[in-house]
Amino acid sequence: MKKLHYLLFSATLLMGTATNAQIKVEIAGVGSNQIPVAVAAFADESIAPAQISAIIRADLERSGVFKVIDAGQVISDSASIDLAAFKAKGADALVVGSVARQADGRIAVRYKLHDTVKGAAISQLGGEVQPKYTRLQAHRIADDVYEKLTGVRGIFSTRIAYVKEDKAGRNYSLVVSDADGENEVVAARGREPIISPAWSPDGTKVAYVSMEDRKPVVYLQDLMTGRRNVISNVKGNNSAPSWSPDGSLLAVALSKDGNTEIYTVRPDGSGHRRLTNNPAIDSEPQFSSDGQSIYFMSDRSGGPQIYKMSVAGGNATRLTFNGNYNISPRVSSDGKTLAWISQRNGGFSLYAMDLASGQELRLADGATEPSFSPNGKYIMYAIKGGGRASLAVVSVDGRVKQRLSTNAGNIREPSWGPFMK
């Protein structure tokens, strides 16, 4: 029997060190009404292992929300600046900063965000980090710029998990990386398929399904210690883990009684509780943002459709009616948007629905396995093209699209991690 071989790693290794990108990011399309932002080179940033200003530019450009303007000069956060001159160049905001090395080897990074219209600074951050966290500090600055200029929390310092399959299709890895694909770390690897990774709300663990025992079993991987435990290995298939918002429960799909039904279970593997009792197949559960409801897929109406029920179980309400095949429900963190995969006209597409109005929007074709960003503004999904599986990101309005690809094999099963405290 083939078994997985696991890498144990500490919290320090999890955050990673500066490495060459494992994933290539391509951007297509831009958002409407882009905000023009000038980004200056930071004073003395060459002493850091990563160029702070370049990372900030790349983050802001990738969002599609900003029109990034190169300031064309080095500007410190303590410099006296002619903001009117930058306004004349079309910039509504200006990012400046400085980098210094401390006696203990840490890197001090300071930044300031100026509003060129008001002629005043509107935000500033300062902090000292170990050199290997330089990229993370740059992402945090980009998050601050995004939030101060849009009112929405930025997601550049978050992480993603996904499954990487080698070119020969003989080895599988559960990988964690920065949201831009940098700093890849392998959490688990083996010769049998790994599917359905799901982040814990505190970002320290990932639940996933492994086929190493010749059937689907749900495991929990602790990213801080490298330890793992079994969440569910009852008779039949154990699949589709999803965390409750408070991290106290997971919803899973189990076939231990013959038919696939929705259950909840504690993270330590105890307390299985059945929620559905229907002769149809009920699977792919997802907790609502308030933890009071569960969205799931069921074929009780004759074909797979998306339903919603109370976390206590009971009657379910059907949500999708267009198309005969609707699967993989995901709900945004604010509870306003439902994303799912629908098969229509012979192909699979990613759709989003405003739950208040019921209005649908087709976001991407050829998509599977959607996952919302923690701010609810983007959806990552898997896609095939050119004989290779890769990841892609689309904004919820469909205007901004990114493609994340690698030459190392196929990548699929994305899961976008939560905000880190």
Taking the C-alpha atoms of residue 406 and residue 409, their distance in angstroms, rounded to an integer, is 6
Taking the C-alpha atoms of residue 192 and residue 226, their distance in angstroms, rounded to an integer, is 19
Task: Point out the domain boundary residue: 150, 176, 198.
Answer: 150
* SS3 of residue 199 by DSSP: strand
Share of the chain above pLDDT 70, in %: 92
* CB atoms inside a 10 Å sphere around CB 264: 22
Say whether both 92 and 192 belong to one domain: no
Residue 252 near residue 231, CB atoms below 8 Å: yes
Domain CATH for 175 = 2.120.10.30
Confidence band of 10 (pLDDT split at 50, 70, 90): very low
Confidence band of 420 (pLDDT split at 50, 70, 90): confident
Q: What is residue 3's predicted lDDT score, i.e. its pLDDT?
A: 33
Count how many domains the chain has: 2
Q: What is residue 98's predicted lDDT score, i.e. its pLDDT?
A: 98
* Mean pLDDT on 381-405: 88
The span from the first CA to the last CA of the chain, in angstroms, equals 41
Q: What is residue 26's predicted lDDT score, i.e. its pLDDT?
A: 65
For residue 179, the enclosing domain spans 159-416
Residue from 409, 418, 369, 419 nearest 393 by CA: 369
Confidence band of 345 (pLDDT split at 50, 70, 90): confident
Give a yes or no: residue 12 inside a domain. Answer: no
pLDDT over threshold 90, residue 205: yes
pLDDT over threshold 90, residue 11: no
Question: 227-245 pLDDT, tens per residue?
Answer: 999 999 999 999 999 999 9
Residue 364 near residue 353, CB atoms below 8 Å: no
Q: What is residue 20's predicted lDDT score, i.e. its pLDDT?
A: 40
pLDDT over threshold 60, residue 6: no
Question: Which residues pair with residue 175 across a beta bridge?
Answer: 162, 186
Mean pLDDT for the chain? 90
DSSP 248-277: S-EEEEE-TTSS-EEEEE-TTS---EE---
* SS3 of residue 179 by DSSP: coil
Say whether both 196 and 318 belong to one domain: yes
* Mean pLDDT on 390-396: 93
Residue 235 near residue 256, CB atoms below 8 Å: yes
Say whether both 379 and 234 belong to one domain: yes
Q: What is residue 213's predicted lDDT score, i.e. its pLDDT?
A: 87
Say whether both 311 and 195 belong to one domain: yes
Say whether both 367 and 397 belong to one domain: yes
Question: 69-81 pLDDT, tens per residue?
Answer: 999 999 999 999 9
Q: Token pair of 93, please?
A: 């905001």
pLDDT over threshold 90, residue 336: yes
* Mean pLDDT on 294-309: 97
**Whole-model pTM?**
0.91
Taking the C-alpha atoms of residue 24 and residue 203, their distance in angstroms, rounded to an integer, is 24
Confidence band of 1 (pLDDT split at 50, 70, 90): very low
Residue 391 near residue 366, CB atoms below 8 Å: no
Task: Point out the domain boundary residue: 94, 119, 150.
Answer: 150
* SS3 of residue 382 by DSSP: strand
Lowest mean per-residue pLDDT among 52-66, 165-179, 192-206:
165-179
